[in-house]
Amino acid sequence: MHLEVRSMVPNTPTTWTSGLDLPNRLFGSQANRTNRTENGYELYEEDDQFVLTIDLPGYEPEEISLRWHDGRLNVSAEHVDDERGRREQTHRTFRMPKDVLDDDIEASYRNGVLEITLPIEGEFTAGKQIPIES
């Protein structure tokens, strides 16, 4: 049986964001279009929730698994094509930079796109301004 593994690992030239899976909209709308195409996913914050969309064409909903544990969302999918003797797998873990209401996480899968909404726990705070010395 032939095994294909589709990677959702970012292919970015910078290393300071590697492994963080920060919301793409943080870096502007052009980054959204580029990252979605290259990485197959988009993660952003909107209306007190994170929205994660992942391109997963060719899978059935029952072939996709989502697990939430300790501030991480694990996404995996496996498709077996017995006629061609092929198996495709993909796996990705996303860390959220804020606490999430885990009982209220929702997901839908339409037209090859998985969309997950993760409501943010607590109230939004503007954060602290950090002075820059020169």
pLDDT in tens, 67-122: 999 889 999 999 998 888 889 999 999 998 888 999 999 999 999 999 999 999 98
In this predicted model, what pLDDT tens digit does every residue of 39-68 receive, in sequence order?
799 999 888 999 999 999 989 999 999 999
- Judged by DSSP in three states, 106 sits in strand
CA 11 to chain CA centroid, Å, is: 14
Is 35 a domain residue? Answer: yes
Closest-CA residue to 94 (of 116, 75, 121):
75
- Which residues form the domain of 55? 2-9+18-119
Number of structural domains in the chain: 1
> Is the residue at 40 inside a domain?
yes
**Domain-located, residue 125:** no
Please report which confidence band the pLDDT of residue 12 belongs to, taking 50, 70 and 90 as the band edges. very low
- How confident is the model at residue 22, as a pLDDT? 52
Nearest-Å Rg of the Cα atoms of the chain is 17
Of the listed ranges 9-18, 32-41, 62-71, the one predicted with least confidence: 9-18
Strand 72-81 relative to strand 113-119: parallel, antiparallel, unpaired?
Answer: unpaired
User: What CATH number corresponds to the domain at position 95?
Assistant: 2.60.40.790
128 domain residue, yes or no: no
